[in-house]
Amino acid sequence: MAEYTDRLARALASVINLFDPHVIVLGGGMSNVDALYDDVPARWAAGGAS
């Protein structure tokens, strides 16, 4: 799960840097994992992956 979170954070950071969206919508089964909504932005704030 940690590797998935890391890869998702990196991928979304690229999208954010390219398009500067105001909202990101997650879909599919993984969108039900509440931890992603805390862990991914935390990785952005920390400046990357561990």
pLDDT digits (tens, 9 = 90+) for 1-50: 999 999 999 999 999 999 999 999 999 999 999 999 999 999 999 876 54
Query: What pLDDT is stored for residue 48 in this prediction?
Result: 60
Range(s) of the domain holding residue 27:
2-46
**What's the pLDDT score for residue 21?**
92
Q: How far apart, in whole angstroms, are the C-alpha atoms of residue 5 and residue 20?
A: 20
CA–CA separation, 36 and 21 (whole Å): 18
Number of domains within the chain: 1
3-state secondary structure of 32: helix
Helices and strands in the chain: count of H runs, count of E runs: 2, 0
Q: Which amino acid is at 11?
A: A
Separation of alpha carbons 30 and 33, rounded Å: 5
